[in-house]
Each structure stands twice: as C-alpha cells, then as structure tokens.
Amino acid sequence: MVTTRHVDIPGLRVHVATAGAGPAVLLLHGWPHTWRLWRDVIDALAVDHFVIAPDLRGIGGTDKPAGGYDLHTLADDAVGLLDALGVGELALVAGIDLGSPVAWMTAVRHRARVARLAVMESLLGRLPGAEEFLAGGPPWWFGFHAVPDLPEAVLAGRTDAYVDWFLRAGTWRGRGVDDDLRSAFLAAYRDPEGLRGGFAHYRALARNAELVAAAAAGILLSQPTLALGGATVGDALARQLAPITPDLRSEVLPECGHIVPADAPAALVERLRALLQVSPTTAGR
C-alpha cells in the first residue's frame, strides 16, 4: 500500500510516497511529472523492497524555494530524505528525464549510499556521446523554459494544453497517459508556483552541465548501472556513460516513448529487478 506524507530535511519539506519493506529503492521523476509517474513501478517493487518516490524540489507537494536546483543540492536533498527515513544504503536509485542527472550525481556524490544506478531518457550535461542526438540543437523547450518569468507569463491560463502536449509527445505514438496520471500531472503544474518550480530545473541546466563535467573528469562510477532509452533519447545517454562507467548495461526499449514508466512499466520493472540481482562491487566506493 502506498502512503504519502511530508518529511522535513535540511532546508526543505519534501512530499514523498513510500511503500513496502526491504532493501530501499529511490525513484526520481522528471518533468512534467510528479512521484505518481512511478505508480505501477512502486506497486511491483514494493513486494520485497522499501520504495521511496519523492516529488523533486520545486514540484508537486514539495517546497518550491527560489534556489537549490543545482545537482549538488538536489543530490543532497535525496540523501537528506534517506536520512530522515532512516535508510542507510540504497539498493538502487533510478531516475528519468530531469531525475536522471540527480540520480547520477547522488551516486557520484554519495557513492557509499548507492549500490546500483538506473537512468533513462535523459542526457548528462554536455558529456561526449550525445552528438548525434544534439545535431539539430537541444530540444526547443529547453531554451524557452530557461528564460526567467517568460514561460510563466505566456502559459498563464494555458498550462493544461501545454502539459498535455508533452504527455502526448512523450508516449509511444502519441497515445498519452491514462486519466489518473494526466489529472495528477496537470494539477501539479496548473498553479503558477508549480510551473515556476518545474522551470527552475531548466534554469539551472547550464550550471548543472558544469557540475557534471567536473564530476565526470574525476571518477569512474563503479556501481552496476543501467541506461534505458526510449524513442526520444535512444542510446545517447548510454554513449555518454560508457567511458566513465565500467559496469554498464544498456538497452533501447521497443515501442516505448520518452515516458518509460507509463509506456512500458512491466518491461521497466523487469530490467530494474534484473539490475537488483547484480552484485555491486566495493571498488571505488
């Protein structure tokens, strides 16, 4: 059974869903999502794991401060939540979209706390490997969302139609998500502060690319790592990770769009469970 609550961590009040008992799994959503993106994954993994799915800083029921959207702070948010919940080491941290760099930085910055890593449908800053994906430039909305105050003004009263576009474009053949997920996502971004909090992550992208480059220059990430792609990013993330991740497995899921937990929840659970069976190494941790 999934329960939701607010948990206080240093400098932030986090809205989090939890379920199950056993080794801990942390799930980090992207945009324009909330923790509910993981609904079906939580149910499947909670049979034998303690599953933790927060709303990221600035999104959903979590506080929406003006700052703190750099990857160091977001990774520290994740570990602060683990501390508040009494969790020592994570069996797995998984992220998608905006949540993938947060998951990666958590594994880098707090490597003793993370046994395994799964990332999907995202990029890690400007690391080499994504040149083909970025040949035409970054997605158009990256620049739009990054302009202070402009998208909030343009989208006032129109957020439902805007978020709906991403929910259709991000799913296989534009089929969209089911009504329950759609309603939850629309509600999270209908409030102006919710919209601003989501865009704050995009406004930190340039700084976060610098943090990724600095971290990647100094480490080989030893944790068993899974890079999953769908129809949008494909294998670009896996190509970025390959030079710095000795224990990497990757796959592009067939008939799956960008929103992997909505399009292919059973396939995703199968891959995550397989990763959970891989013995982590202590080398470099």
Asked if 74 contacts 214 with a C-beta cutoff of 8 angstroms, the reply is: no
Is residue 73 over pLDDT 50? Answer: yes
Query: What is the helix (H) or strand (E) element at residue 35, kind and residue range?
Result: none
User: In this structure, how many other beta carbons lie within 10 angstroms of the beta carbon of residue 95?
Assistant: 27
pLDDT at residue 281, rounded to an integer: 73
Considering the domain boundaries, does residue 128 fall inside one?
A: yes
Starting at the edge strand found earlier in the chain, the sheet holding 12-19 runs: 3-9, 12-19, 50-54, 24-28, 90-96, 117-120, 225-229, 248-252
pLDDT, tens digit, for every residue of 135-180?
A: 999 999 999 999 999 999 999 999 999 999 999 999 999 999 999 9
pLDDT exceeding 90 applies to what percent of the chain? 96
pLDDT at residue 219, rounded to an integer: 82
Query: What is the helix (H) or strand (E) element at residue 282, kind and residue range?
Result: none
pLDDT, tens digit, for every residue of 241-252?
A: 999 999 999 999
For residues 188-215, give the mean pLDDT. 97
pLDDT at residue 285, rounded to an integer: 46
User: In this structure, how many other beta carbons lie within 10 angstroms of the beta carbon of residue 9?
Assistant: 21
For residues 202-216, give the mean pLDDT. 98
What distance in Å separates the CA atoms of residue 107 and residue 207, rounded to the nearest whole number? 19
Considering the domain boundaries, does residue 285 fall inside one?
A: no
Nearest in space to 59 (alpha carbons), one of 181, 200, 159? 200
**Band (218; pLDDT cuts 50, 70, 90):** confident
Could you write out the DSSP letters of every residue in 89-136?
SEEEEEEETTHHHHHHHHHHHTGGGBS-EEEES---TT-TT-TTTTTT
**Band (49; pLDDT cuts 50, 70, 90):** very high
pLDDT at residue 283, rounded to an integer: 43
For residues 56-64, give the mean pLDDT. 98
Nearest in space to 244 (alpha carbons), one of 266, 270, 215? 215
Q: How many CA atoms, within 13 angstroms, populate the side-chain half-sphere of residue 4?
A: 15
Considering the domain boundaries, does residue 283 fall inside one?
A: no
Q: How many CA atoms, within 13 angstroms, populate the side-chain half-sphere of residue 37?
A: 33
- Give me the CATH number covering residue 23: 3.40.50.1820
Considering the domain boundaries, does residue 232 fall inside one?
A: yes
Residue type, 239: R
What distance in Å separates the CA atoms of residue 28 and residue 69, rounded to the nearest whole number? 14
Is residue 183 over pLDDT 50? Answer: yes
pLDDT at residue 284, rounded to an integer: 43
Is residue 7 over pLDDT 70? Answer: yes
Could you write out the DSSP letters of every residue in 215-253?
HHTT----S-EEEEE-TTTTTHHHHHHGGG-SSEEEEE-
pLDDT, tens digit, for every residue of 80-132?
A: 999 999 999 999 999 999 999 999 999 999 999 999 999 999 999 999 999 99
pLDDT at residue 266, rounded to an integer: 98
- Residue 225 is part of which domain span? 3-276
Considering the domain boundaries, does residue 284 fall inside one?
A: no
For residues 236-242, give the mean pLDDT. 98
Structure tokens at 242: 């390959």
What distance in Å separates the CA atoms of residue 185 and residue 199, rounded to the nearest whole number? 15
- Domain count for the chain, please give it: 1
Q: What is the mean pLDDT of the chain?
A: 96
What distance in Å separates the CA atoms of residue 238 and residue 227, rounded to the nearest whole number? 5
Question: Burial letters for 124-146: b for 16+ Cβ neighbours within 10 Å, e otherwise?
Answer: bbbbebbeebeeeeeeeeeeebb
What distance in Å separates the CA atoms of residue 63 and residue 245, rounded to the nearest whole number? 33
Residue reference for tokens 């969790």:
87
Asked if 224 contacts 118 with a C-beta cutoff of 8 angstroms, the reply is: no
Considering the domain boundaries, does residue 282 fall inside one?
A: no
For residues 27-42, give the mean pLDDT. 98
